[in-house]
Amino acid sequence: MKYDYIVIGAGPAGYVSAIKAAQLGLKTAIIEVCEDRVGGTCLNEGCIPAKALFGIAKNLKEISEGADLYGIAETKPNIAKFVEKSRSASDTLRKGVLYLFKKKGIDLLLGKAIFDSPGKISIKAPGETDRTVLGKKILIATGSKPYQIPGVPFDGKRILSSSGAIRLKEAPKNILIIGGGAIGTEFASYFNLLGSEVSLLEMKDTLLPEMDKEVSRAFGTLLKKRGVKIITSAIAENICVKENEVQVTIKKSGSEETKVYRKILVAVGRQPNTAEIGLEKIGIELEGKGIIPVDGRMKTAADNVYAAGDVVKGPMLAHVASAEGEIAALDAAGKTFREIDPSMVPNVVYTDIQVARIGLSEDEAREKGQDIAIGKQYFRANGKAVLSGQDDGFVKILADKGTRKILGVHILGPEAGEIIHEFAVAKQAGLTVDDISKTVHAHPTLSEIAVDACNAVFDRPAHG
């Protein structure tokens, strides 16, 4: 079978790219190992089911804390039901993607794809004869998998990956989470909400090292207040499963301590799925830990072969993967596009109290020699935050003193992941803090804080 465009991998990069290519008139096929994997890690093992769980747990906490107000005598979490609900959300969205494939005339080919040449792919499926497909242009979007600590395999019982953690039907009495990035902190918040004793270990000196340091430190303080034990500048060694528990040696500042936990979640990053797909046959040499080099058009060193998503350099974020997949499809169809500007991409951490950023951190701005002005506004001065009982955190804005344009925005607080997009649009459009501060926002809303934060950069906010 011959196609104009073949996509390997049906995750956010792959399925968005395939749909865009089909919309542009290309005869398109997408190859995925099995139908249950359509939607990729985000839809099946990450973003969607995890956020469903986190949302339910947060609602439970709010109801529990307001039991007297709501007239509820007792609340007991049914985590098995939580998991069932999260799987239902994933199933619904996956069916939606499959429907779009049919609607757009995209062929879904099930099996493992292996390159024979830049335009020729073999598809291997258990119990079936190998098939060969030809593509004028091909996108590699095979995603990633949780990084495994050498010598410490995931067993799904005591040593967990994020995929295992979202399927736990009981809250562990205690758990050690190794890795204080987005995945680690999100699960720390989740298990904390469920009542587990949570210890969170990070090798660097703050949690969320990719965020603005002031925000990271404040976030760590709030997580501690909620009962999470935070261990920074530390490493875990000698991880050993013993019957129903795990023994771990924690090394920190020249000292070490052996602790015992019921479960360990390893959240130290992800690695690209680029092995055993025949890249050596098409002249693609990998960089680092399995990264495929690409240019701004998402093209690889192989003729007419693209790559997008977690297999290329950059943040492993579903929305970035989708944008990269769309660029590949546009280029394959001969259409124009705008290259991704990393400074315009929002990054969000979906913990109990959310964290979001776009653009430069304060340290990055100073390293670049930017003459900056900084404004900050706290949620405790926001009416909606106070009446909702979610008034922790703040918005921090960095602006250029000369042009007054936004250089970076950092939010720690309720619905940070929603509020950040107002700043994303403003930054993309080249607006100034004055443009936002002159915009009338509805009251009472969390987004009102944008006006006060912008006023705080060069002036004084009304509520501050």
pLDDT value of residue 46: 87
Contacts of 200 (CB under 8 A, 6+ apart): 176, 177, 180, 184, 185, 188, 207, 223, 228, 229, 230, 231
pLDDT value of residue 60: 80
Query: Does 73 have pLDDT greater than 80?
Result: no
pLDDT value of residue 317: 95
pLDDT value of residue 265: 97
The per-residue pLDDT of the chain, averaged, comes to: 94
Contacts of 75 (CB under 8 A, 6+ apart): 60, 63, 64, 67
Query: Does 186 have pLDDT greater than 80?
Result: yes
Summarised one tens digit per residue, pLDDT across range 335-376 is 999 999 999 999 999 999 999 999 999 999 999 999 999 999
Q: Give the whole-angstrom CA distance, residue 112 versus residue 91.
A: 22
Q: How many residues does the chain have?
A: 464
Q: Give the whole-angstrom CA distance, residue 265 versus residue 288.
A: 25
Q: Give the whole-angstrom CA distance, residue 454 versus residue 357.
A: 15
In the CATH hierarchy, which top-level class contains the domain 2-145+271-342? Answer: alpha beta
Mean pLDDT along residues 106-133: 95
How far, in whole angstroms, is CA 44 from its chain's centroid? 13
How far, in whole angstroms, is CA 227 from its chain's centroid? 24
Quick check: helix, strand or coil at residue 14?
helix
Q: How many CB atoms lie within 10 A of CB 192?
A: 23
Mean pLDDT along residues 11-31: 98
CATH of domain 353-458: 3.30.390.30
Summarised one tens digit per residue, pLDDT across range 33-67 is 999 999 999 999 888 999 898 888 888 877 777 66
The residue ranges of every structural domain in the chain are: 2-145+271-342, 159-268, 353-458
Mean pLDDT along residues 104-122: 97
Mean pLDDT along residues 100-106: 97
pLDDT value of residue 61: 78
Q: Which of 319, 410, 421, 443 is catalytic?
A: 443
Half-sphere exposure of 410 (CA within 13 A, CB side): 24
Domain topology for 159-268: FAD/NAD(P)-binding domain (3.50.50)
Mean pLDDT along residues 212-236: 97
Give yes or no on whether 2-145+271-342 and 159-268 have one common fold: yes
Strand order in the sheet with 255-261: 234-242, 245-252, 255-261
* Predicted TM-score of the model (pTM): 0.93
Proportion of the chain above pLDDT 70, given as a percent = 98
pLDDT value of residue 48: 92
Residue 463 among the catalytic residues: no
Structural contact between residues 311 and 325, judged by C-beta atoms closer than 8 angstroms: no
Query: Exposure of 393 by Cβ count < 10 A (0-12 exposed, 13-18 middle, 19+ buried)?
Result: buried
Residue 161 tokens read as 């990956």
Half-sphere exposure of 389 (CA within 13 A, CB side): 8
